[in-house]
Amino acid sequence: MTGRRRATRNSGASLGSLLLWLNAASARAAGFLDDPPIEPQIVSFALSGGLAIFAAAMAIGYLRERALWRRRDAAISAELDDSRAQLDRAKNFLASEPQIFIAWKSPDAEPDIHSSSLVMTGAAAAPRRILNFDAWLAPKDATELESAVERLRKSGESFRLALLGVAGRHFDAEGRAVGGGVVLRIREVSGDRLELIGLRERYGAAQSELAGLRAMLKALPAPFWIRDEAGELVFVNDAYAQAVEAKSPEDAVSRKLELLDQTARGAAEEARLKNSVWRERVNAVVAGERHQLDVTQAAASGAAAAIAIDRREIETVRADLERQMQSHVRTLDQLPTAVASFDRARRLIYSNDAYAKLWQLDPNFLDQQPTDGQILDRLRAEQRVPVESDYRAWKERLFEAYQSPEPIHHTWHLPNGRIIDVVAHPNPKGGVTYLYDDATKAYDLETRVNALARMQSETLDTLHEGVAVFGSDGRLTFSNPAFASLWRLDPDDLAKRPRFEALAAKCCALHPDEATWAALQGFVTGLNEMREGFNRRIERNDGVVLDCAAQPLLDGAALLTFVDVSADVNVERALTDRNKALLAAEKLRNDFIHHVSYELRSPLNNINGFVHLLGESSTGPLNPRQREYLGYVGKSSAALLAIVDDILDLATIDEDAMELEFSDVDVEATMRAVIEGVQDRLVENSIDVQIVPMDDVGTFRGDAKRVRQILFNLLSNAIGFSRPGQTVTLAAMRRENDIVFKVTDRGRGMSPEILERVFDRFASHTAGSRHRGVGLGLSIVRAFMELHGGKVFIDSAPGEGTTVTCIFPAPAAHEAASLAAARAGDAE
């Protein structure tokens, strides 16, 4: 092809030269050139000859070029046939196995994809989808292939990868740089190649497993070693090296340090040669101490591996476990909870004393290791298990604990009223451990507590006092309806458990005193564990008065109670005002009594003095009628003076101004002096008096004047209520540390209604008697008896008379001396 182009160029050059020459000749003939003119004939002849020569030359050149082109065409055809043959051979080579070629002429060029019989999803319809590796490769392999192709196109880094397809097919990807481009070949792996890849993968996994196994064996706490076909040590672990006191496992192997003695090694060697398992308990020196080892050796193909388990540690652990188990057994025997353990065959293997006592089972029967079903059948026959309509189904449900991975709870209600809580715990090695708790008392206590709680709740709900309980977080946990009513709160809002601050803000409208709410808030929300309760009176702006009581409860809770005391406060205020008025009236009365008494006493003394003067002969004689009238005047003035004295005494007593003058009072002498004082009344009323003193009555400490006044008033009353001819008795006796006076009359007596008011002042009961008075005698008697520390009693019945008993304290001599010394000290 190149020669033909060169010949064509040569022919064109010759033809150009000829034409140039002819042009020059024509120009000369026409006279355009400076050469001498030529004849026309000669020019024609030359032109014809030139044309002939040109034609001949052209023909010759054409023939030569045609021959050359034919030769070159034959060569090109032969070269094309050879190229086609090579292409066919290449296609046959590519088609010999499933594969794909992807070529990039430059890093930025579009890929040229050629595939053989390798078929992938979507590749036939769109070959470029082959480059979407995620569509037909596993995610990990697709990512790895994309990264490798990227490095190949950028830096020409070759690679070869084994890939796994999403359908389980295996591929081999190889990428390399060729010339200025890169080529990626993907082949499906099958046959020996696939088997080789599988072998490589298994070899890698085996190597990893072997490395892990060696690491585990190296870390074993028990000595482990491996011998080769010659019986030499090839591997030992750290425990072996420590046992033979080597620096490292490699040191133990290099020095061939043996753990077992010669006899044991000989037996192990015989077993290795026979490829059999050898187990033996031998004695060996481990780290300088003699230990008992359980050695196990397994041999295969002449090699052997062995491990030695230290029995001393196991025996120590076993002994400790045995002691611990015995301790647990003793502990379980002391527990009130009944415990029974059954093995996987449902036979009893252990029971404590509480179990036999709970179910009243014979120890000999339990020693026979009965089954769980046999024990239940015996308890059912003795009516000690719950009464069930379908006993067999109930028992099977109970036995489900033997297959359950979790504990199962049951509650048995026995016919005798007891309640048993049963917990069935599955044992790790099979079987079940039952725990029986007699919960009768607990259930009874819970029932009582619940009933008590309900009763308390109902009681609190019906109380008129407002009750509110706040938790340790300051939130309302309980309130009764009275609380909401007292503070005009919405029950729905209280049900939301508001905080104390929110309730205080609502209650401030009725009681805006910030000090009160601050004190209550500090008590409710305070963190001080030593909180002390307090009381506070709250007066609201609507006139309601509440008594608030704050009391601490358990767990930091607080109890607030509010009692509406408005009525009580109003009554108290009214009573206070009335009491003040009464005190003022009493003071006015006492002042009036003192004033009147003293104002009356002076005229009465004058009257008595003049009566006494008129009765004397020095003032002149009186006729009998005048003397009689003078006697009446003297008696009346004496009676009036006695009344005034009594009123003064009572007023003095009311003012706590009465002071007794203690001395030794002779009982018998006092009685006779009193009789002499009422002698005129006895004669006037024809009444006899009888004195009955005991021989050993003696004396006692008291105010002699007031004692005589007491007895005088009692005798005056007795004489006034007696009829003529009757006898009044005045008796005295000593009884232990008391002196007892009794004044008895046989008059009309008093009814029970009168007895209730007999000591009231100005209460005179003279119906049916000749006694007249203002009713101060018995009041003075009781007042003087109380000042002496004594007591006065009246025993009376209508128609049977009256007996008044006065008891004065009269301690023994040493007690009297102590009392006198105490009184002397008080006086000082």
Q: What is the DSSP string of 576-607?
A: HHHHHHHHHHHHHHHHHHHHHHHHHHHHHHHH
Burial class (CB in 10 A: 0-12, 13-18, 19+), 484: middle
Distance between CA atoms of 789 and 798, rounded to whole angstroms? 30
Q: Average pLDDT by consecutive 10-residue portion of the chain (828 residues)?
A: 46 47 48 50 76 85 86 87 78 68 79 67 54 83 88 86 80 83 80 66 78 80 87 88 88 87 87 88 84 86 86 76 73 79 90 88 89 90 88 90 89 89 87 89 83 79 85 88 89 89 90 88 75 85 89 85 86 85 75 66 72 71 76 69 67 69 89 82 83 81 87 85 87 89 87 75 53 61 87 87 90 51 50
Other beta carbons less than 10 A from residue 710's beta carbon:
29
Count CA atoms within 13 Å of residue 251 on its CB side.
11
Residue 780 contacts residue 732 (beta carbons within 8 Å)? no
What are the Cα distances from residue 52, in Å, to 9, 91, 256? 21, 57, 114
DSSP three-state, residue 342: strand
CA dihedral 395→399→400→405, nearest 10 degrees, is 150
DSSP three-state, residue 553: coil
558-564/545-552 β-pairing = antiparallel
Q: What pLDDT score was predicted for residue 105? A: 80
Q: At what angle do helices 391-399 and 372-381 cross, to 10 degrees?
A: 140
Residue 258 contacts residue 300 (beta carbons within 8 Å)? no
What are the Cα distances from residue 41, in Å, to 38, 45, 46? 8, 6, 8
**φ/ψ of residue 696, rounded to 5:** -105, 25
Q: Which regions of 35-169 does DSSP assign to beta strands (E)? A: 99-104, 112-115, 159-164
| Residue that is written with structure tokens 């190949």 in the block | 152
| Residue that is written with structure tokens 């003192």 in the block | 594
Structure tokens at 695: 């021989």
The residues pairing with 536 across neighbouring beta strands, listed in sequence order, are: 548
DSSP three-state, residue 700: strand
**φ/ψ of residue 157, rounded to 5:** -80, 115
Closest CA to 100 of 84, 86, 119: 119
What are the strands of the beta sheet with 181-188, ordered from one edge? 112-115, 99-104, 181-188, 170-178, 159-164
Distance between CA atoms of 351 and 332, rounded to whole angstroms? 9
* C-alpha 124, offset from chain centre: 70
Contacting residues for 327 by C-beta, under 8 A, at least 6 apart: none
Q: What pLDDT score was predicted for residue 598? A: 64
Distance between CA atoms of 158 and 174, rounded to whole angstroms? 8
What are the Cα distances from residue 688, in Å, to 473, 685, 772, 805? 86, 9, 20, 20
The residues pairing with 433 across neighbouring beta strands, listed in sequence order, are: 341, 425
Q: What pLDDT score was predicted for residue 19? A: 46
The residues pairing with 412 across neighbouring beta strands, listed in sequence order, are: 420
Q: What sign does the CA torsion over 288, 290, 292, 295 have?
A: positive
Structure tokens at 444: 């009874």
Residues in the chain: 828
Q: What sign does the CA torsion over 290, 291, 292, 296 have?
A: negative
Distance between CA atoms of 735 and 810, rounded to whole angstroms? 9
Contacting residues for 375 by C-beta, under 8 A, at least 6 apart: 348, 359, 361
Residue 162 contacts residue 169 (beta carbons within 8 Å)? no
| Residue that is written with structure tokens 């003696």 in the block | 698
Contacting residues for 497 by C-beta, under 8 A, at least 6 apart: 475, 476, 477
Contacting residues for 634 by C-beta, under 8 A, at least 6 apart: 608, 611, 612, 615
DSSP three-state, residue 217: helix
DSSP3 helix / strand / coil % (the chain, rounded to 5): 50, 20, 25
| Residue that is written with structure tokens 């007690």 in the block | 815
Q: Would you put residue 338 in left (φ > 0), alpha (ψ -120 to 50) or beta? A: beta
Q: What pLDDT score was predicted for residue 11? A: 46
Count CA atoms within 13 Å of residue 371 on its CB side.
8
Closest CA to 746 of 789, 800, 665: 800
Distance between CA atoms of 435 and 340, rounded to whole angstroms? 7
**φ/ψ of residue 328, rounded to 5:** -65, -40
Q: What pLDDT score was predicted for residue 342? A: 92
Q: What pLDDT score was predicted for residue 12? A: 46
Distance between CA atoms of 806 and 730, rounded to whole angstroms? 11
Q: What pLDDT score was predicted for residue 322? A: 76
DSSP assignment letter at 555: G
DSSP assignment letter at 360: T
The residues pairing with 85 across neighbouring beta strands, listed in sequence order, are: none
Farthest CA pair distance, the chain: 245
Contacting residues for 801 by C-beta, under 8 A, at least 6 apart: 744, 745, 746, 747, 748, 749
Q: What pLDDT score was predicted for residue 370? A: 92
Residue 780 contacts residue 649 (beta carbons within 8 Å)? yes
Task: State the distance between the two ends of the chain, measured CA to CA, in whole angstroms.
Answer: 166
CA dihedral 777→781→787→792, nearest 10 degrees, is -150
Structure tokens at 658: 């009465």
Distance between CA atoms of 595 and 589, rounded to whole angstroms? 10
